[in-house]
A and B are shown apart, each in its own frame.
Chain A
Amino acid sequence: MNRIAYILVPVLFFIGLLFNSFAYYAKVVFALNTWINDLILLSILILSLHTIFRSARLDSIGITQKLRLILILILMIYLVSLALVSAVQPEFITPRYAGGYVFKPNSWSAMVTANIIGAVAIISLTLCFHLIRSLIYYRQKKNTHFYFLFMVLSGAVTIILATLSGKPLKYDLGYNFILTSVGLMVTTLFMIPNVFRVGWVTALNRKQKFFTFIGGIVFVLVAAGLFGAEVGGGLTYADMVNSYSILAGSFLMLMTIFMLLYSLATTINVLMHLPTAAIYDKKVREINSIYSLSRAITTVFDFDRIARSVTELAADATNAQACWIDTATSKSPALSRPMQLSALKIKPPLKIPYLERKLENRGQTESYPEATDRDVVEATLSAIMDEILKNKKPLVINQARREKLSRHLKKTGIESLMVVPMLSYEEVIGIIYVAKAIPFGFDQEDVAIVSALANQATVAIENTRLVKESLERERLAEELRIAHEVQMRLIPQTVPAVMNAEKTFSVGIGAVTVPALEVGGDYYDFLKLPGNHTGIVVADVSGKGTSAAFYMAEIKGIIQALGAQYTSPKELLGAVNQVLYHSIDRKTFITLIWADIDIDRQEVRIARAGHCPLLYLHGNQAEFLLSDGIGLGLDPGPIFRKSITELCLPLQPEDVFVLYSDGLMEARNAMGDEYGEQRLSEIVLRNRHLSAESIKDTIIADVSAFVGTMKSHDDLTCVVFKVNAVSVVNTQSLPAATARDVTTNPIG
């Protein structure tokens, strides 16, 4: 459709021009030729209106571009006409046949001139009309559309009336013009509400408003010229177009009046907006900066980038020359000091070399320059910082040179300074400084806007911190998970087979350790010792968590290294203590119980170093055996060795031995009761017929049931071993589990 119009409009004009030339030379004067001409023009008008109003490209351009285009178009009409008229010098007459109201060309060149001017006017004004319409429709209200429609309808009626009557539009209530004049006046009235639709002016910034004002004056002058100025030969511009066609002339007339009124309204409106334009701009900047910052903080988790955009925005919003931010160093988030310079934006005439240097050296060790450079500026800024840290309130210094606190800032060029703390839960986590080179640079609104920025930035920084922390937590959790796995590898994965040479006699073993945290300080192990001896060790490092886990690994190393070298448990523990004492933190000690099973001689020798007693089950008798001995790492040697006594017990079928850590005794239920020896001996007695593995399982199940939902607060370890006579088939103590224990591959 558009493409057709682009071809059709020029073609129609050309046809019109040919027709007029023919009519001129033929000197044929009859009403029909005016009608034909008007008809051609009407179709051109409708075609251009249709094409232009459909154009999406015109709607998408900005207000300022629209304004510029309107001005260019109207200037074009004016200049083209002027140039053409002065080049051709057309002559016009007012022939009687036209009723004496209308000029008619007196030469062919005049006729062509009128035609071209009319064509340019129709196309350009249609375009202008469309552009102005889109301005009128800016922030459209309910009635906007109706007012506009009334105006267009009334204008169309007026144009039709003028065309039909063959009389040009003018404000003349005389007999001849009464009808068209009334139409013109009514249309003018309908223009009024449309003319005041100039709300788009508020969307302009100060500079744009200024140019709109200048452009508006030019536009008013040009529009007035089109309306009334003589173009040449005593004709106005409208007269000339009327000579071409009353229809075109009327359209031009109405458009000129409308544009004149609209440009006047616009110019006056812009003029009234100009004084407040700066303040308005500032408000817009403030809103924009808060908006951009709140958008930035939801996406940016980079501390420095946030700090940089805050300085930019704060400086922009307050029109300041310098802005910088101190933030609490990560080591002391709830700082009193020190603060670290996070971002700096500074432009002439302000100069703060101290801050620039500080920003460059950021991250490096604080290297203080020569004493002369650590000057009054630094001292002043740090005094101001102290003030903020103390009061936690924004500080505005409007005459920096005069105030005692800031008078030494003279050489930086700072005349006014605003300092706003960033508060998070009443803690200063950062400070925003904004500086200007003029005194009285900041008012209450500036404080409000920078405070708002500070709040936003605080949220952003808190966010960043939280994200960092959660990442760190995740990393730690992962490390702990690995540590847990490593530690679990330190604990035997299988239990050894313990059987005498004749294979008539065996010891079944069940063992478990449950750390309270990811890693713990409990440890058990089995050692194959020379002479078919088996060593079983249960140890508990004091404290818990990571440090306990390290010592647990250490004690394993020591036991593995020394276990096979000593035949006497007492001597072994003495040696272990000696090694351990010198490599262990004074506050830490280790309790340990060592059982040396001699399966061939059917006896077990036990030594205890400060550890929980051994539960010994013989027949129906449960007994807690407590030999002497102090914890490992408490004493360098003599007292320790002296304290240890050995226990030697025979291994008889069905005997059950339970080694455990204090986590088992101290497991607590919701009432705060401890599991205790009584419960342990009862559950073992009740289940003594089971295999070692199953006894261990029932103990753990019983403790779990006892504790319930309470979180265990200590590592819990339990090693059960039970004596089995393999040849005695009819005892009930040979279930599958025991057999499995026996057949398990030996470890270590």
Chain B
Amino acid sequence: MNGFEVTRRDHQEISTLFIKGHLDAHTYPRFETELQKLIDEKRYKIIVDFRDLSYISSAGLGVFMGFIETVRDHSGDIKLCTMPPKVFKVFDLVGFPSLYEILSDDQEALKRFENRPSET
């Protein structure tokens, strides 16, 4: 079984989740819990950094869908960044680029949030 890890870093009202390893049907609940925690803390500006992710399955993609509505309803967003080409291919195939902002690195993602300050 391949491992999966999530680490979180908060920067003001923006939280970045660094995900590592395999995100699949076995590991996605852990990622889900982390995201749920952010929602519970009312932190809706979320960046997910994929730099250490080696694999994502369709169940892993589903996690983002589960939260995006809530997050956007609260004027937040989930931005995805630093995707390895292989992971990006999966996202691209399913058509995520038209639903999510996918950025080249976390600094850029942070900037995107800062340029459009929260309306709350």
Contacts and interface: CB of A to CB of B under 8 A. Distances in A.
Contacts of B120: none
A412 interface: no
B104 interface: no
Interface in B49-75: 57-59, 61-63, 65-66, 69
Nearest to A631: B94
Interface string B23-65: 0110000000000000000000000000000000111011101
B98 interface: yes
Interface residues of B, number: 17
Contacts of B69: 586
Contacts of B93: 591, 610-613, 626
Contacts of A714: 57
Interface of B is mostly: helix
A542 B98 contact: no
B58 A662 contact: yes
Interface in B72-100: 93-96, 98-99
With a 10 A CB-CB cut-off, give which of A610, A628, A633 has the most chain B CB atoms.
A610
Given A588-B65, A630-B99, 5 more contacts: A543-B58, A545-B25, A612-B93, A626-B93, A714-B57
A587 B62 contact: yes
Contacts of B63: 587
B111 to A, nearest CB: 24
B66 A586 contact: yes
Interface residues of A, number: 30
A221 B41 CA distance: 95
A666 B99 CA distance: 24
B66 A543 contact: no
Contacts of B61: 542, 589
Contacts of A544: 25, 59
B98 A589 contact: no
Interface of B: 24-25, 57-59, 61-63, 65-66, 69, 93-96, 98-99
B66 A587 contact: yes
Contacts of B58: 540, 542-543, 589, 591, 662
Nearest to A630: B95
A281 interface: no
B59 A634 contact: no
Given A612-B93, A635-B99, A589 B59 contact: no
Q: Which 5 A-B pairs have the closest CB atoms?
A: A630-B95, A542-B58, A587-B66, A610-B94, A587-B62
Interface string A683-726: 00000000000000000000000000000011000000000000
A502 to B, nearest CB: 39
Interface of A: 540, 542-545, 586-589, 591, 609-613, 626, 628-631, 633-635, 639, 642-643, 662, 666, 713-714
A639 B25 CA distance: 27
Nearest to A629: B95
Contacts of A633: 65
B62 A643 contact: no
A666 B86 CA distance: 12
Contacts of B98: 630, 639, 642-643
B66 A589 contact: no
A77 B75 CA distance: 112
B65 A543 contact: no
Nearest to A584: B65
B74 to A, nearest CB: 16
A543 B25 contact: yes
A714 B24 CA distance: 11
B99 A542 contact: no
A589 B94 contact: yes
Contacts of B59: 542-544
Nearest to B32: A587
21 contacts: A542-B58, A542-B61, A542-B62, A543-B59, A544-B59, A545-B25, A586-B65, A587-B66, A589-B61, A591-B94, A610-B93, A610-B94, A613-B93, A629-B95, A631-B95, A634-B65, A634-B94, A634-B96, A634-B99, A635-B99, A662-B58
A542 B99 CA distance: 17
Contacts of B94: 589, 591, 610, 630-631, 634
Contacts of B99: 630, 634-635, 639
Contacts of B24: 713
B65 A587 contact: yes
Nearest to A635: B99
Given A543-B25, A544-B25, A714-B57, A588 B96 contact: no
Contacts of B95: 609-610, 628-631, 634, 643
Contacts of B96: 630, 634
A588 B60 CA distance: 10
A517 to B, nearest CB: 10
